[in-house]
Amino acid sequence: MSWNANVLTLYPEMFPGPLAHSLAGRALDDGIWSLDTVQIRDFATDKHRSVDDTPAGGGAGMVMRADVLAAAIDHVLERQPQAPVIAMTPRGLPLTQLLVRALAAGPGVSILCGRFEGIDERLFEARTIIPVSIGDYVLSGGETGALVLLDACIRLLPGVMGAATSGVEESFEAGLLEYPHYTRPTEWEGRTIPEVLRSGDHAKIAAWRKARAEEDTRSRRPDLIERHRDV
Ligand code: SAM
């Protein structure tokens, strides 16, 4: 059985979108992963097919209704009860490579894409849902966040990347950013590839890469060093 993604959205036509191309697209064609989109509006109960209402307490915008979203979630849980349910929200836990690995190792994922001002908080109390944020900025909808999450998971599924690029040396895998890469031409605009990478000395190359990974992480992402120290 393939790794299955259920995406609950008001814009099913946004999927698979970019995931129909390159590695993810080939894997979709090969049946390594599959995709089911669920139109949230199909679970509305009034004649206008409303999925949102005004915010309690006042304020701008609209809020997605818990009753409509719960019906959509219950529908996917019936179809695939083992897949964790994730809601895309800037109020969520940060999406990390650790979470991506855990999700990729499971049977798949169901992702609820928010719109408007967000989701009625009672939904998170009434259902087991992992709130996930893709970063400290605000998107117009959860769909682009879902595409990011799915892309990160799909490339880790067995058979998607070649054996040579298993992903274990990449950024975040060891709590560090990856070392920098170079390729031909050896000299470009007066800049040469670091000598050590052309030496053929594998031990020296590994030591140089480790040192650069640490140096770049320290200067660009000191938070990663701190986080890794705490693990
Ligand atoms: N009012 C919300 C707030 O300030 O937290 C922002 C709502 S945003 C305009 C609409 C939807 O986009 C959210 O419900 C969520 O699904 C999605 N979204 C926005 N930023 C996101 C992020 N950083 N990570 C994941 N989803 C996000």
Atom of ligand 1 nearest to the CA of 87: 16
pLDDT at residue number 171: 84
CB neighbour list of residue 159: distance below 8 Å, 6 or more residues apart: 27, 30, 32
pLDDT at residue number 174: 82
CB neighbour list of residue 41: distance below 8 Å, 6 or more residues apart: 10, 49, 51
Mean pLDDT for all residues in the chain: 96
Nearest CA to ligand 1 atom 24: 133
Backbone angles phi, psi at 154, to 5 degrees: -60, -40
Atom of ligand 1 nearest to the CA of 61: 1
- CA-to-CA distance for 186 and 208, rounded, in angstroms? 18
Return the half-sphere exposure (C-beta side, CA atoms, 13 A cut-off) of residue 145: 31
Nearest CA to ligand 1 atom 2: 117
Mean pLDDT value across residues 150-164: 91
Angle at 66 between CA 151 and CA 83, to 5 degrees: 35
Domain boundaries, the chain: 3-154, 169-231
CA of 85 to the centre of ligand 1 (A): 17
Q: Are 131 and 93 in contact (CB under 8 A)?
A: yes
Pocket test for ligand 1, best of 130, 138, 140 (most atoms within 8 A of CB): 138
Task: Report whether the peptide linkage leading into residue 180 is cis, meaning its omega lies within 30 degrees of zero.
Answer: no
pLDDT at residue number 152: 98
Ligand 1 site residues (CB inside 6 A) read 88-91, 113-115, 117-119, 133-135, 137-142, 145
Q: What is the pTM of this model?
A: 0.96
Instruction: Answer whether residue 231 shows pLDDT above 80.
Output: no
CA of 101 to the centre of ligand 1 (A): 23
CB atoms closer than 10 angstroms to residue 7? 25
Per-residue pLDDT band at 86 (split at 50, 70, 90): very high
Q: Which two tokens stand for residue 110?
A: 């169901």
- CA-to-CA distance for 223 and 204, rounded, in angstroms? 28
Atom of ligand 1 nearest to the CA of 119: 14
- Give the model confidence (pLDDT) of 11-51 as tens digits: 999 999 999 999 999 999 999 999 999 999 999 999 999 99
Q: Which fold has domain 169-231?
A: Trp Operon Repressor; Chain A (1.10.1270)
Atom of ligand 1 nearest to the CA of 138: 20
* Pick from 74-78, 86-90, 93-97, 162-166: least confident: 162-166
Instruction: Answer whether residue 58 shows pLDDT above 70.
Output: yes
| Identical fold between 3-154 and 169-231 | no
Edge-to-edge strand order for the sheet containing 33-39? 33-39, 3-9, 108-113, 85-94, 130-133
- CA-to-CA distance for 93 and 130, rounded, in angstroms? 8
CATH architecture of the domain with residue range 3-154 = 3-Layer(aba) Sandwich (3.40)
CA of 128 to the centre of ligand 1 (A): 19
41 forms beta bridges with none
pLDDT at residue number 226: 86
- Give the model confidence (pLDDT) of 171-229 as tens digits: 888 889 999 999 999 999 999 999 999 999 999 999 999 999 999 999 999 999 888 77
CA of 164 to the centre of ligand 1 (A): 36
